[in-house]
Amino acid sequence: MALLRQAAGHGSLVGNHLHPKALAQRLSRLLRVIGNRRQIVRLEAFDDAQLMDIGLTRDDLRHALRSGLFHDPSLDLTRSALRRCDWRKPQRTGL
């Protein structure tokens, strides 16, 4: 329960208890974060060229996984990939 309170942050507390709806939301978020962490661990099996194809490096993966247990590392990877891509440039077609 202490872990869920830490994941919940502040708010939705009545006395020392979370509302059932708030508890379910926090638990859902925690499970999503854990799932995202597992996906990032799977990305470690990619070679460097595959990682670069999706705009990431091994250092990006390491940095994202170093974040706290309740931090969603997929947000860090998204930011890293967006910084690397040149999404403002229109794509040329081979016409």
> Where exactly are the structural domains of the chain?
2-84
> 32-49 pLDDT, tens per residue?
999 999 999 999 999 999
86 and 59 in contact (C-beta within 8 Å)? Answer: no
pTM over cut 0.85: no
H helix or E strand, kind and range, residue 14: strand 13-14
Q: Which residues of the chain have pLDDT under 50?
A: 1, 3-4, 8, 10-14
pLDDT for the residue 69: 79
H helical segments located in 1-95:
2-8, 20-43, 48-53, 58-66, 73-84
